[in-house]
Structure 1
Amino acid sequence: MTPNTSTRRHHLRKLALGLLAACGLGGAWAQGSYPERTIRIVTPYAPGSMVDATTRLVADGLSKRLGQPVMVENRTGGMGMIAMNALLSAPADGYTLLTDTPASAINPTLHKEQARYNPKTDVAPIAQFMRLPFVLAVHPDVSAGTAKELVSLLKQPGSQWNAAGAGTSTGLVTDLFAIQAGVQLPQVPYRGAAPAILAALKGEAPVIFLDSANLAPHIQSGKLKGLLVTSDARQDTLPSVPTSAEAGFGNFKPVTWFGIFARSGVPPHILKQLNEAVREVMQSSQTREYLKARGATSSDMGLDEFRSFFHAEIDMWADVIRKAQIKQ
């Protein structure tokens, strides 16, 4: 082979690869290499929490489907910003991911000084794991037997009913209900779900909005009265509690959810691959049974659907924060 022949073949090969790339085939060839090493999922929630447990269940399923280890790293504190910063400071290659809740959509509006990121441009939503409805419950001493009756009580002159607050998300759910119902519902803040539930059980703050997994046992035992649940259908764990629509509050549909994110800039084919893998995990019988036992349902949102959902969450909670005049 002459040097000129070798050179010509080299140029022809480069030209062919360029044409393949232009047609999208070369990109497809290059896309088959992800993942080549361990994937890390950071989460701002503590070991043993439901977010942590669900993340580990998903990580195990992803590892089996992707053929690489998927490790979970708990980075708690800083109102979720320690974990978020770990994501935003990592390369945009799909090897560092984040699991989070509605807090990821809320924090940049509510905590502007600490959460200095734009949730619509700095993070890339990949997939939603699950959805868990909220429940409105009251202490048995509250005379209201329905959500409508509770609103009537709250509108009476001199109403002194308070709600137990269990964190940012549940506090905003309370604010959203008060705004839509046209009532005042002061909140007493507590350090988490357990002390908030205890306050409701004691009647110290007799109204509470919390996820169904936390409240179901107390409603089942009769220690609290469930007035509505924000799911489309009644919950198997709370068959006597009406949905928001049945209770006359069809526009009140907030849910808590867990989702997985990348930082912006991760190639679209990697986001799509991860979305499809997560959806496979969430539709497995093992995962569905795990969630059902906790009053949750698995999610099957596509990539674009979850992005639209996440952006709508950002806008909705920003509007609640503005209307309720909540300060940082």
Structure 2
Amino acid sequence: MDNLLEPARRPHRLRQCLSKTAIPVVLALAGLLAPQARAAQEASWPTRQVRIIVPYGPGGIADISARSIAQKMAENTGQPFVVENKPGADTRIGTEYVARMSGDSHILLLGGGGFAVNNALFDKLPYDTASDFIPVGLVVSNPLLLVTGIQQPYANLGELIAAAKNGETITLASGGNGTLSHMSMELLSAAMGAPITHVPYKGGSAHTSDVVGGRVTGIFENPSSALPVLRAGRYKAIAITSAARNPAMPDVPTVAESGAADFEVVNWFGLFAPAGVPEAAVERMAAALTQALQARDLRERFMRDGVAVGGPTTREFGRFVASETEKWAEVVRTRNISVDR
């Protein structure tokens, strides 16, 4: 009987031998093909839902710009783009969240001025902006308006600075220590050699009633926030921080025109991917962003408020961010700016 059963056993033994030989071969092939498969997938980015993390609260220009591009990118790529607000700790919470997602090409950060300023403000960040992120592209940018309440006697920036130098108390509000409105005030004070008192608020629009009511002299504010108050006749704009006059506000002189040579402050927001994302995916991201920003309705929506749409991508955008980081680090150092840690 044993001999009769022997032929039936042979295929089983053959399969065992083949299995012992084939498994290493299959594993080796899988190892060779996996990078190629991943590269092909990244070259066709996005292949699933993309999350855009906004380290600011809802309703501001950061949130609005993220939702605007998310809608257009979803329409153009056929994949959903979801915006998630993760505010707090001077944008560090949301920024750290993305930094921890190394290699994930389906999560993006909408970073702004805080991305460049925080390196100098905080002794120990839980991330490195230079090595933990890959620049994708500039989304929107705008100058700030220096506005005062209409009851203030200063017709222009020159008069305000002269008053400060003559001993009058000039106070400028901000959204908090280390915010761009605060940094702009410090840069102006240094450039003009004029004493200006900083009055920090806890973000949002808490400062508006105090500026309108004259309890604070003024503030450097985003046009999107300032223009409705200006149009209501409760603010007056005495300077703008762009290098040239803004077409949306041609009658407002620049700070540089008013005596602070080369003064320029840009409020910007751009997309970043976490480190480790393949270059092919980053290029796809940049192309998708550029396409989204070409939408006429999106551009018109922002340009009405003096906000520029689009700009450099990938490496060129990275150079811009590096220059902003260096600029604000110098201001923090020379003005001895500190924040609560």
Find the aligned partners of 1:208 and 1:91 in 2 and give their Cα distance. Answer: 38
1:185 aligns with one of 190, 193, 196: 196
* Residue 95 (str. 1) matches residue 89 (str. 2): no
Aligned residue among 122, 135, 141 for 1:125: 135
Deviation at 1:296, TM superposition (A): 0.8
The alignment partner of 1:246 has SS state of coil
Q: 1:288 and 1:267 mapped to 2: Cα distance?
A: 30
1:169-209 CA distance string (max 9 Å, x none): 21111111111111111111112241212211111111211
Corresponding residue for 2:287? Answer: 276
Q: Aligned pair in 2 of structure 1 residues 161, 248: CA closer, same or farther (>3 Å)?
A: closer
Letter in structure 1 aligned against 2:157: A
**Paired residues for 1:276-315 under 5 Å:** 276-315=287-326
Scaled by the length of structure 1, the TM-score of the pair is 0.85
| Alignment partners' CA distance in 2, 1:133 and 1:187 | 20
Q: What residue in structure 1 maps to residue 83 of structure 2?
A: 72
Aligned to 1:78, the other structure's residue is in SS state: coil
Q: 2:158 aligns with which of 148, 165, 168?
A: 148
Cα distance per residue 1:236-282 (max 9 Å; x no partner): 54332113343343411101111111112211221121112111111
Distance 1:250-1:298 versus aligned 2 partners, 3 A rule: farther
Question: Equivalents in 2 of 1:276, 1:244: separation in Å?
Answer: 35
Q: Which residue of 1 aligns with 2:272?
A: 261
Q: Distance in 2 between matches of 1:125 and 1:299?
A: 14
Compared with structure 1, are the counterparts of its residues 318 and 264 closer, same or farther at alpha carbon in structure 2 (3 Å cutoff)? same
8 Å CA contact retained: 1:193, 1:214: no
CA contact (8 A) 2:243 2:263 kept: no
Q: Aligned partners of 2:49 and 2:165: how far apart in 1?
A: 56
1:35/1:45 CA distance change after superposition, 3 Å: same
The 1:319–1:306 alpha-carbon spacing in structure 2 relative to 1, beyond 3 Å, is same
Match of 1:230, as an amino acid?
Answer: T
Which is worse superposed, 130-139 or 305-314? 130-139
> Share of identical aligned residues, percent?
28
1:176 to 187, 191, 201: 187
Checking the alignment, whether the CA contact within 8 Å between 2:55 and 2:91 is kept in structure 1 is: yes
Q: Is the 8 A contact 2:96 2:126 kept in 1?
A: no
**Structure showing greater Rg:** 2
Partner of 2:168: 159
> Is the Cα contact below 8 Å between 1:178 and 1:185 reproduced in 2?
yes
Residue 129 (structure 1) shift: 0.7
The DSSP-based 3-state class of the residue aligned with 1:79 is coil
Q: Which runs of 5+ in 2 are unaligned?
A: 1-24
Does residue 111 (structure 1) correspond to residue 122 (structure 2)? The answer is: yes
> Which of residues 314, 338, 341 in structure 2 aligns to 1:327?
338
Match of 1:6 in 2: none
**Structure 2 residue 136 is the aligned partner of structure 1 residue 134:** no
8 Å Cα contact 1:228-1:243 kept in structure 2: yes
The corresponding residue for 2:14 is none
| Number of equivalences | 309
| Inter-partner Cα distance in structure 2 for 1:71 and 1:322 | 38
Give the secondary structure class of the aligned counterpart of 2:143.
strand
Structure 1 161/286 Cα, relative in aligned 2: closer, same or farther at 3 Å? same
Q: TM-score if structure 2 supplies the norm length?
A: 0.82
Q: Tell me, in whole angstroms, the C-alpha distance in 2 between the residues paired with 1:67 and 1:250.
A: 48
User: Which of the numbers 73, 82, 106 marks the counterpart of 2:93?
Assistant: 82
Amino acid at match of 2:335: A
| 3-state SS, counterpart of residue 159 of structure 1 | coil
SS in 1 for 2:280: helix
Partner amino acid for 2:260? F
Name the amino acid aligned to 2:128. Answer: N
Partners of 2:261 and 2:280 lie apart in 1 by 38
CA distance in 2, matches of 1:123, 1:199: 38
Aligned-residue CA RMSD (Å)? 2.6
Displacement of 1:110 after TM fit?
1.1
Indicate whether 1:247 and 2:251 are aligned: no
